[in-house]
Structure 1
Amino acid sequence: MDLAKRLEDAQGRAFVFQVEAFWRECLDRDSCALELDLIQTMLTPERYQLIAHYQRLNQEWQQSLGSTSLSDFATLQARVEEVKRLAQQTWGEAANIVFADEFAVYDFSLETQQLATESPDQFVQSYRHLLNQWHKSEAAIGLVSSAAKYERGLSLIPHSYSQTQREQVSSQLAAMYLSDAEANDIQARAQQVAEQTTQTQSYQQQLERLKRTLEQQRQSRFANLTDSEWQQYYDDQISEFRISFFSG
């Protein structure tokens, strides 16, 4: 039976998808007890118990996680250890099935912390070595494509690097993981973001100058206006500025 095989073989997100689909559909048909009986002989006892009690265990897990403040744990390692402890407490050994992908992401994230102490000359080599160690888990940690590996590498560049060092490492990552077309596309997007940021900063600066000028005018040449007349004039000036700025 294909369903039983999928439920028996799946791990992590794939298992959660299969088991939740099983329960959703059998509840709609009001036939869960019957369908569990049908697949029981095709499952290992451990896997059957997990599927049969999944609804209750998942509810207990959500309650357990919801009552825990992970922000109380100062380090990533402490938070990961607490999540794993809670998962084992609720799911037992089955936690390694249900959370196979999540645990892989947590463990990979912990290992990436070692890159924070790498020199700029060694960063890319160390990052590539780390990815090679995790090659079999690329899907679980979301690093199947070269572009994803490049983006993750960028996010891990230490903040302690100078701008020149960051650009050097970025170029090395691009050369290693991106095609020329991908590199050009990313460079174009980065340039667009930079231009938008500059434009936004310029807009804010000019707007603040206009507001200060208007405040001064309110105290002098427009002091005789009523509040409503002044507000109308003020709004008109701001509106004209916006139209002028973004149309020119």
Structure 2
Amino acid sequence: MNTTPATTDQTVPPDAVTIVPAAPGPVPLRNPEGMWAFVITTVGLTAPGAGGRPTDPDPDPARTDIASLFAGAWLPAPPPATLNRGDVVVRLASPADLDRTRVDVEVLAAHEDEWRSVRIPPALDTRWPHHVATTVLSWMRALADEAARTVTRQAFTTTLGTGSAHLGPRPDAPDALATLIDAGLLAVGDRLRWNGNTATVCHGGALAHGTEPHELCTSAVSTLATNLATPVTVNGRHLWRHPREGRTLAQLRAGLASNRHPH
């Protein structure tokens, strides 16, 4: 596989590969054989300003190392978007002129009930991670923020005693864990762990960090992980691990998808 091994950085999952930092040679220009896309688990930008974005409002990727860290995992097939809401992937394809030194990079986000193409920059070279890093980060943050708003609304309506089914997160709400709870793969009160941190699973799929009381469960999976991983942005489903099961949330989710859609 034309990628470098993962680093020892705790924001990069052990089974992920790191594309940046890397020498130009190992940067892939095509998906490996049999792989559908590269799901981004970790992205960091250089010269971060407010919000983790470069201080230059219009950086030129051709001359600037926009990405300080770009890592993820290859997916052999497109997973159900409804179960993978909040994920952002890149797909590498041959450009129209079939130039083997160039690549068309499609960025897709699992949003609503579909994999939505959000950008397709054509004919890039091995610096393509720097061209798409800000797009990837922006979508990861936006989807995580959407999930955080959903679980926060659920927490407050429940606390006030005004919660109802239509106010809470749907079972497949982005980043929420309600689907895994409903499937019996997680339970309210379970403790998730990552990098010395603990998060408690709450009603509706929210998380409580550390010793926070359960009525203040207003964190979502990737939002909490990114807050702990700052300045990089992470996909928390590939980091939080169920200590009893020994698997990450992404692995639990993949098992659920396999059971629902057997090959």
TM > 0.5 between the two?
Answer: no
Under a length normalisation based on structure 2, what TM-score does the superposition of the two structures give? 0.26
Structure-1-length-normalised TM-score: 0.27
User: Who wins on radius of gyration, i.e. which is larger?
Assistant: 1
| Larger fraction in strand | 2
Structure (1 or 2) with the greater helix fraction:
1
If asked which structure has higher relative contact order (CA below 8 Å, sep 6+), I would say 2
